[in-house]
C-alpha cells in the first residue's frame, strides 16, 4: 500500500466537495450520533457475525447474523446497555454491559446458540480488569485485581462456578478466585496472553527499572528478558515457545524493525522487515488460531501515511486482491476471519464516513454488504484527509494531514483550524474523524500535525526529542507556516484546538506565538507541568513508574524551576492576545481539571477574553453523546465568533 492510494481514492470520490447552496450542512446531532453499525466480528467457526447498533439508552444493542440460516436478530439483554463484546469460541462471547445506577462494566458470558446468558464473570460491587479467557476450561478466566483494601491484589484465575459466601461480615470481593498467578515482585505494568489465554509475558516496575519476564508455558518459571522499554516491544507470540516477535530499535537503524527474538539465547534474529520512515513499535501481527490450536500469521499491519496490511500468507494476498477488485477506489482493511480462513470481515473506507462493513466468503466469492454506518450523511459534502509533508526549522521532515472544506464560489481561501492530537506519545492516522468533518462542513480547513514525539515514525521523529515540549510546539508552528506559505489557507484567520497534550499545544500556541492565532480552544489540557508532577506524585502509590519517568525525563521542578517555566504556558499568559476557550470534564483523573481552573484565573487576571465549559459527568474524553454534541456546538460557536 503506497501513498498513491490516496490519489486513487480522491480521483474516484472527488478531491474536494462542492456544497450546493440549496444543500444544508449536516447538523451537530448528525456528528454526535453513534454509527448505525459498528464493530463487526466473527465467531471462530464463522457461523455468526456479531455487530453493534445504537441502543435507546447510552451505548449499544447486540446483534447476531447467522451466516448459515441468513437470519438476523437483536439480542434481548433485559434492559441492559451493551458496552462491548468479544468472541470466545464458535458460540460464546464475553459481553460488557451497564445498567445505571445499579452497575457499570458488568461482564457475562452469552451463548449465541442457546440465545441466553450462561455465566456471570463479575458481580455488583466487584471490580477488576478482565485479562483473558482460558481455553482449557470454559469456566475459567484471568483477571487483574487492584489494591483497594478488599483483599489480595494481582493476577488471578477466576472461576464462574464459584459463588459468593453469604455469611455475615464475609468479604466477597475475591470470592471467585480459584488461584493466583505468581509473577515477579514489583508494580505490575502489563500482561500478554497467548492464544490459549495463558499468561506468558508480564512487565513489572521494580528497583527504578521496568523489567520484562516471559515463560514458555503456564507452568514454567519466569525468564527475565534484557529488554529496554524504550527500544523493544513484543508484538506477537510464535508457535515455537522459544521465539517472540518483537519490534526493536538497534543503534544503527533509523526506525524499529521486526525481529524474531530467541529467548534461550537472548538473540535478536536478522531483521524480518523494516520501514526507514515508519516505526514498527505499534505494528500488529494479524494472526488466527486454527482448530488445532496453532497460530497462523496472515499479515503485518501498521500505519504509514495511510494504514497498511502487508500479506504474510498467499491466501491473505488473494483475499486482498478479490476485495480490492470488488471495492475499487477505497481503502479496504481485513479486520477479522474465521479459523478455516474462508470468511472475512472487511472494513471499507473512503475517509468521508465511518467504515462500511462487508462480509466476504472466499470459497463462494460472495460479498455480503452490511447497512451503511451513517446514512444521514451525503459523502459529497465531506472532506478527505490529505497526507502532507513539511520541514521543521532544523530541517527534519515531518508529516500531517490537511482536510479542506468545499470550495467557495468566490475562490476565497478558507480559515485554518490546527487540530493537535494528544499524548504526546500518540499520532493522528488517516480515516474518518467527526471533529474534523464537522469543521470542514462549516468552511474551515483542518491541519492535523504529527509533531516530534508522535509515535509510529523514525527514531529522529518519535524518539530523539520525545520530551522536548517546546520543540513539539515549534513543529506545529512550522507546519502552520508551511501551509500559509503554500497559499492553501488564509494566513490571517488561524485557530488552534486540541485535547489533553493537544490542549497544551493550543495554549502554548497562543502564549508562545502571540499574534499568530485568532483564537485557541483547549480541552482537558496541561498548562502547568509542575502541577502535573504534583498530581503524578499523589497518584504514585498506584503508578510509581510514570511518576519516576516524568522526573527522570523532565527533571525535578524543585530544582529546575526555569525549565518548567519555559515549557509551561501558564507562566506566559500575559503574552496571549487572542480569546481562549477552556473545556474540561470534572471527573478527569488523567489531567486534574484544576489545570483548567488555574488557567481561567490567569486569563482573567491578565484581561484575556475567555470562555469556559465544564462537564460534571465526564472524565478525560466524552462518554455521553449529549455532552459530546454540546461540546461540538460550543466549539463551532466560538470559532464562528472569533475566526
Q: What CATH number corresponds to the domain at position 407?
A: 3.40.50.1820
- What would the pLDDT profile of 191-200 be if each residue is shown by its tens digit? 999 999 999 9
**Half-sphere exposure (Cβ direction) of 377: Cα atoms closer than 13 Å:** 26
Same domain, 576 and 433: yes
Pairing of strands 223-225, 209-214: antiparallel
Return the CA Rg of the chain: 25
Same domain, 460 and 499: yes
Percentage of the chain beyond pLDDT 70 is: 95
Residues 217-235, mean pLDDT to the nearest whole number:
95
Residue 22: pLDDT band by 50, 70, 90 thresholds?
very low
Same domain, 494 and 406: yes
Same domain, 591 and 611: yes
The Cα–Cα gap between 309 and 347 comes to 12
Reported for 541-546, long-range contacts at CB under 8 A and 24+ positions apart, including other chains, are 541/147, 542/146, 542/147, 543/187, 544/187, 544/205, 545/187, 545/189, 545/205, 545/210
CB 199 within 8 A of CB 218: yes
Same domain, 499 and 635: yes
Residue 287 CA from chain centroid, whole number: 20
Domain stops at, among 552, 567, 582: 567
pLDDT of the residue at 540: 79
Asked if residue 367 belongs to a domain, the reply is: no
Same domain, 587 and 559: no
Same domain, 478 and 513: yes
CB 188 within 8 A of CB 154: yes
- What would the pLDDT profile of 438-470 be if each residue is shown by its tens digit? 999 999 999 999 999 999 999 999 999 999 999
- pLDDT surpassing 90 at residue 15: no
- pLDDT surpassing 80 at residue 10: no
Strand extents, DSSP E, 22-176: 38-42, 48-54, 60-66, 71-74, 81-87, 92-99, 103-111, 116-120, 129-133, 140-145, 154-159
- pLDDT surpassing 60 at residue 20: no
- What would the pLDDT profile of 253-298 be if each residue is shown by its tens digit? 899 999 999 999 999 999 999 999 999 999 999 999 999 999 999 9
Residue 539: pLDDT band by 50, 70, 90 thresholds?
confident
- What would the pLDDT profile of 114-130 be if each residue is shown by its tens digit? 999 999 999 877 789 99
- What would the pLDDT profile of 577-624 be if each residue is shown by its tens digit? 999 999 999 999 999 999 999 999 999 999 999 999 999 999 999 989
Closest CA to 516 of 488, 486, 483: 483
pTM of the model: 0.93
Residue 17: pLDDT band by 50, 70, 90 thresholds?
very low
pLDDT of the residue at 144: 95
Domain count for the chain, please give it. 2
Same domain, 499 and 578: yes
Q: Around Cβ 208, how many Cβ atoms within 10 Å? A: 9
CB 94 within 8 A of CB 154: no
Q: Which residue has the higher pLDDT, 370 or 20?
A: 370
Provide the mean pLDDT of the chain: 93
Same domain, 554 and 448: no
Structural domain that includes position 394: 379-528+571-642
Domain stops at, among 567, 593, 621: 567
pLDDT of the residue at 8: 38
- pLDDT surpassing 50 at residue 523: yes
Amino acid at each position: 500500500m503506497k501513498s498513491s492510494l490516496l490519489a486513487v481514492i480522491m480521483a474516484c470520490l472527488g478531491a474536494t466537495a462542492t456544497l450546493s447552496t440549496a444543500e444544508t450542512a449536516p447538523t451537530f446531532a448528525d456528528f454526535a450520533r453513534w454509527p448505525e453499525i459498528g464493530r463487526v466480528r466473527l465467531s471462530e467457526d464463522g457461523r455468526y457475525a456479531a455487530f453493534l447498533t445504537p441502543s435507546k439508552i447510552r451505548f449499544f444493542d447486540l446483534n447476531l447474523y447467522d451466516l448459515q440460516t441468513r437470519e438476523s436478530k437483536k439480542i434481548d439483554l433485559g434492559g441492559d446497555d451493551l458496552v462491548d463484546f468479544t468472541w470466545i469460541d464458535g458460540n460464546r462471547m464475553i459481553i460488557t454491559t451497564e445498567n445505571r445506577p445499579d452497575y457499570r462494566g458488568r461482564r457475562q458470558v452469552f451463548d449465541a446458540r442457546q440465545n441466553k446468558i450462561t455465566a456471570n464473570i463479575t458481580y455488583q460491587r466487584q471490580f477488576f480488569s478482565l485479562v483473558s479467557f482460558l481455553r482449557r476450561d470454559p469456566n475459567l478466566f484471568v483477571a487483574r485485581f487492584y489494591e483497594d483494601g478488599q483483599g489480595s491484589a494481582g493476577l488471578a484465575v477466576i472461576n464462574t462456578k464459584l459463588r459468593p459466601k453469604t455469611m455475615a461480615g464475609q468479604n466477597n470481593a475475591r470470592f471467585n478466585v480459584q488461584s493466583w498467578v505468581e509473577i515477579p515482585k514489583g508494580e505490575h505494568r502489563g500482561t500478554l496472553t497467548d492464544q490459549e489465554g495463558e499468561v506468558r509475558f508480564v512487565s513489572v516496575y521494580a528497583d527504578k527499572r521496568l523489567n520484562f519476564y516471559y515463560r514458555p508455558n503456564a507452568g514454567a518459571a519466569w525468564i527475565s528478558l534484557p529488554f529496554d522499554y524504550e527500544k523493544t516491544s513484543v508484538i506477537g507470540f510464535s508457535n515455537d515457545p522459544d521465539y517472540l516477535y518483537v519490534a526493536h530499535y538497534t543503534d544503527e537503524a533509523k526506525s524499529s524493525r521486526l525481529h524474531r527474538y530467541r529467548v534461550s539465547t537472548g538473540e535478536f534474529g536478522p531483521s524480518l522487515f523494516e520501514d526507514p520512515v515508519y516505526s514498527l513499535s505499534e505494528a500488529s501481527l494479524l494472526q488466527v488460531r486454527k482448530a488445532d490450536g496453532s497460530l497462523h500469521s496472515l499479515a503485518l499491519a501498521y500505519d504509514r501515511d495511510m494504514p497498511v496490511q502487508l500479506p504474510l500468507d498467499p491466501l491473505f494476498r488473494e483475499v486482498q486482491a478479490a476485495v480490492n477488485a470488488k471495492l475499487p477506489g477505497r481503502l479496504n482493511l481485513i479486520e477479522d476471519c474465521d479459523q478455516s480462513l474462508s470468511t472475512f470481515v472487511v472494513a471499507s473506507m473512503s475517509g468521508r464516513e465511518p467504515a462500511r462493513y462487508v462480509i466476504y466468503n472466499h470459497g463462494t466469492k460472495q460479498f455480503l454488504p452490511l447497512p451503511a454506518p451513517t446514512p444521514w450523511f451525503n459523502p459529497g459534502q465531506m472532506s478527505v484527509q490529505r497526507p502532507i509533508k513539511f520541514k521543521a526549522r532544523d530541517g527534519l521532515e515531518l508529516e500531517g494531514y490537511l482536510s479542506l472544506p468545499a470550495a467557495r464560489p468566490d475562490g476565497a481561501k478558507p480559515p485554518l483550524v490546527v487540530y493537535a492530537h494528544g499524548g504526546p506519545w500518540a499520532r493522528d492516522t488517516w480515516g474518518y474523524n467527526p471533529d474534523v468533518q464537522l469543521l470542514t462542513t462549516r468552511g474551515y480547513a483542518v491541519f492535523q500535525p504529527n509533531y516530534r514525539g508522535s509515535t509510529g515514525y523514525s527514531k529522529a521523529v518519535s524518539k530523539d526529542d520525545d520530551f522536548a515540549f517546546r520543540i513539539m510546539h515549534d513543529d506545529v508552528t512550522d507546519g502552520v507556516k508551511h501551509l500559509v506559505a503554500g497559499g492553501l489557507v488564509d494566513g490571517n484567520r488561524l485557530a488552534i484546538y486540541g485535547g489533553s497534550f493537544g490542549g497544551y499545544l493550543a495554549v502554548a500556541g497562543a502564549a508562545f506565538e502571540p499574534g499568530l492565532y485568532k483564537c485557541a480552544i483547549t480541552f482537558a489540557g496541561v498548562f502547568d507541568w509542575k502541577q502535573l508532577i504534583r498530581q503524578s506524585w499523589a497518584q504514585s502509590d498506584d503508578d510509581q513508574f510514570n511518576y519516576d519517568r516524568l522526573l527522570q525525563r523532565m527533571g525535578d521542578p524543585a530544582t529546575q524551576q526555569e525549565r518548567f517555566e519555559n515549557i509551561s504556558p501558564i507562566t506566559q499568559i500575559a503574552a496571549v492576545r487572542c480569546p481562549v476557550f477552556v473545556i474540561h470534564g470534572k471527573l478527569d483523573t488523567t489531567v486534574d481539571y484544576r489545570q483548567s481552573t488555574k488557567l481561567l484565573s490567569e486569563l482573567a487576571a491578565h484581561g484575556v477574553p475567555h470562555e469556559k465549559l465544564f462537564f460534571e459527568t465526564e472524565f478525560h474524553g466524552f462518554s455521553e453523546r449529549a455532552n459530546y454534541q454540546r461540546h461540538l456546538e460550543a466549539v463551532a460557536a466560538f470559532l464562528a465568533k472569533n475566526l
